[in-house]
Structure 1
């Protein structure tokens, strides 16, 4: 397997060595855990299983591989090189501590958090001894924020040297069992001009009540996707992440790298699913010849190969933009749409090639199909990204007409 070879000079020797070690670890150590029965009510690995794998990752020197020992972060292109390889198993990102939402939360705290907040909250995430959750999305039946964060109804107000937060959140990945939370709320204070605030909190907290953890189509993330109520959550003012009223700006700091990281991890999973489907098609015979020799099958695998290469190029392009210091909002939006839709086709082709076997749990192919289907929704559905891009196209057209 080759990954991101379009510009080899963009990947340091350190990142190349780390990527090779991560791939070896995932294939040799993590893959056997895919049949481990330690799962929660909706099929996600338990924290016991995650921590056991992490101890092995720590011993192998591949825990949190995108962050160096001195705390510096690999470039986005180097991160892609490593995270794609961590995704070769659905358990790989969990074992190597590169999974969502922790990877994105580490990035955000690292860029916005004070030294004190980093020491208190970030260090244990990097060390892999704690999980985190990002509290932003709100229930539709409450009229709260989903893809449109301006609809946020969870509020915060000052109370002496504390802030009081009240509201509801939903689809909060990993909330159950998390030790660190990033809570986003719309400020009621006049001097914040209606902006949002972000807070770091220790979890669990009795003021945060988990109302429901629904069974979902995906099952790779510990803690599920909870619906919660925040009832007079009292947070010390020094636990605010950044400045009052700047929460939406900080969300953008997190958003583009997080979208791109999802693309990296699920590309790795689809590469592995394609390997499994190819092996099946090259061994299984039907109607007097191998499946791959039937055009209907061979063409699907050929399409997969094309889409994998195209996705690598999109990821590399977006990563290079982020490495310039740009927020990369438009680039990450286009990449998320392109890669998630490509991954859906790849996963579907793999299931189809393998027939009945493809829909069983004998391999990870059916799980990859489920996970990628969910990926088309989280971090912004395809349609929302296209709508946003269409608005930009219209705006640029108007500007051209006025010039």
Structure 2
């Protein structure tokens, strides 16, 4: 896009530039500036010309101070110079902020609900934990930001205990090694960081999300310029459970509707590493949310075998009472789905189920009795339709309901077992 075509995302004028033969400046011309004749563009910037947008953003928690701080200059002119086609940008400059102004504006830019959602944050760059959302930041030259060169994982905090923390850290270390990241933290040090971040949050239930990055040091492609790896961890409150219809509201449990995503599946190498390269996953989610008949996308490979969802594994109950989980050769080895496969043979209520991990085609999967999604953040969620094929009459299946209950009971420390790590809240906050 040429400079003449660039304008603010909420420009007051949305007409196209005048490139007709009668234009006084030809293809390089732009919209007439009001009262100034052709060849100039006046783009009124917010908050004046976008007061409606500003009001909406204020409603979302952004203050008037922040809008003023981030507003661009009122106008810009694009003027061909000396007849040689070169352009000159003429407008007031953006503000050059002092350190004090930056800190002030960072604090005022925090959405109103941030303090209730983002509870504590550790950064190896800061060397400690903060409870101020304004400072929960990642350096722009961190390769996690501009190259996606990082691995991450998520652990649930249930009744003051971290659930399956060791398994999540083990997967993080495996993903980091495959991604060429060589951390100088041992798994026990990472466990301490996650624990202390959970303690600083002061809550008994939530999520601990953590990332291991190649680190900061420049904007090159390779990580040789990175000064050192980086580690970040944030404690968040559980999001409000999203319900998709009256049936969900009646049960109090979401039911998902799946579709085969048109987004290309990742290569086996990339699909088996939990990295920050989630663009295909995000696009599959956007595609599903735009479909009136779907809520989530499912990846299917070129041979027709089921892979996974955007952020979850899938399981199927066949007509022969077999729990089938797709192999991990073209999808992520989910910690939660693996725990399900361990627990089912031990459950009396699921004694008639046999567990099998194998390849399964989408055609065979759609002929199953039940389908469910499994992840650390959602446990086990029923999927009632896939490409409009209905499972169990469109309701939560008999076995899915029992798997969900079994997993929930395993997650809750009543009593604690080997997969629970108790959080000592007093170590950071001195709370009892």
TM range (shorter): under 0.3
Q: TM-score, normalised by structure 1?
A: 0.25
Higher strand share: 2
Q: Larger relative contact order (C-alpha < 8 A, sep ≥ 6)?
A: 1
Q: TM-score, normalised by structure 2?
A: 0.24
Give the number of the structure whose alpha-carbon radius of gyration is greater: 2
Higher helix share: 1
